[in-house]
């Protein structure tokens, strides 16, 4: 059992009051590390997102802080079939094919024993995956998002999380886009339309994205 499940981060206390039972649940935040895979991060990779290399230190810091609190770190990772219809449908080159080095998390951010790894085959971390089930099992009600790509998998996952009533925070300096204008637009949309909190790493103050 992961160590964070043994800690008193998720407490269910039953208090008997005659025929009444009161359940007190203390919820917690999970860190999502989205698509920080070799095929997105490494120079010359099939779907390279160069700015991902700049955010590695930020994500390392976020992982360290999350583990120190005893909260879950969850890796949400593309894992495509060799002939995945997404490649033709959306015009992407083949990437993050199951069983290949390209589908592995970059060495600098490797999962630790006890971390959860959620495989996905489309933009959303929730669609057709066990992410929601895992979060409920862990007693999570808040998500902190890092990784790539800001206007694709980050934004779509954030939207699906909000629609499932999770409180969502995106670490502005811990996410990377393919183009600056798309990155900034996605942050604005998440903040102004979805109610997502945009923060800088190590802060809980709303980010600099203009209203």
pLDDT per residue over 43-65, tens digit each?
999 999 999 999 999 999 999 99
User: 77: which strand partners?
Assistant: 119
pLDDT given for residue 203 in this prediction: 58
**Is the per-residue pLDDT at 14 higher than 50?**
no
The SS3 assignment for 105 reads strand
Mean pLDDT for the stretch of residues 89-113: 96
Q: Which residues contact 93 (CB under 8 A, 6 or more apart)?
A: 46, 47, 87
Q: Quote the pLDDT of residue 36.
A: 98
Residue 211 has a pLDDT of 36
Interval 192-206 mean pLDDT: 83
Percent of the chain whose pLDDT exceeds 70 = 83
Is cis: bond before 88, omega within 30 of 0? Answer: no
Fold classification of 28-199 (topology level): Rossmann fold (3.40.50)
Instruction: Count the Cβ atoms, other than its own, within 10 Å of residue 29.
Output: 17
Q: What is the C-alpha radius of gyration for the chain, rounded to an integer number of angstroms?
A: 18
Domain ranges of the chain: 28-199
Residue 3 in tokens? 């160590």
pTM for the structure as a whole:
0.85
- Does residue 23 come out as left (phi exceeding 0), alpha (psi in the -120 to 50 range) or beta? beta
- DSSP-based three-state secondary structure for 82: coil
Find the range with the poorest average confidence among 13-22, 57-66, 141-150: 13-22
Contact at 8 Å (CB) between 182 and 155?
no
Give the CA angle between residues 80, 188, 106 to the nearest 5°: 35
* Residue matched to tokens 């929601």: 132
Cis peptide before 46 (omega within 30 of 0): no
Comparing 157 with 23, which gets the higher pLDDT? 157
Residues in CB range of 183: below 8 A, 6 or more apart: 51, 150, 151, 175, 176, 177
- Determine the average pLDDT of the residues in 84-97: 92
When pLDDT is averaged across residues 23-42 and rounded to a whole number, the result is 87
Q: Are 38 and 106 in contact (CB under 8 A)?
A: yes
- Residue 121 pairs in a beta bridge with none
């Amino acid at each position: 059992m992961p160590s964070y499940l043994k800690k008193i981060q998720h407490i269910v206390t039953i208090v008997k009051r005659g025929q009444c039972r009161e359940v007190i649940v203390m919820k917690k935040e999970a860190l999502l590390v989205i698509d920080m895979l070799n095929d997105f991060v490494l120079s010359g990779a099939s779907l390279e997102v160069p700015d991902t290399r700049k955010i590695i230190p930020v994500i390392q810091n976020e992982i360290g802080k999350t583990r120190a609190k005893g909260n879950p770190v969850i890796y949400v990772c593309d894992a495509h079939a060799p002939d995945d219809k997404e490649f033709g449908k959306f015009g992407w080159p083949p990437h993050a094919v199951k069983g290949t080095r390209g589908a592995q998390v970059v060495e600098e951010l490797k999962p630790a024993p006890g971390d959860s790894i959620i495989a996905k085959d489309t933009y959303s971390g929730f669609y057709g995956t066990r992410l929601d089930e895992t979060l409920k099992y862990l007693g999570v009600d808040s998500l902190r998002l890092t990784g790539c790509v800001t206007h694709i998998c980050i934004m779509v996952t954030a939207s699906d999380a909000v629609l499932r009533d999770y409180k969502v925070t995106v670490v502005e300096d811990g996410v990377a886009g393919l183009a600056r204008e798309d990155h900034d637009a996605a942050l604005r949309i998440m903040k102004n339309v979805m109610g997502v909190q945009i923060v800088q790493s190590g802060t809980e103050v709303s980010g600099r994205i203009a209203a």
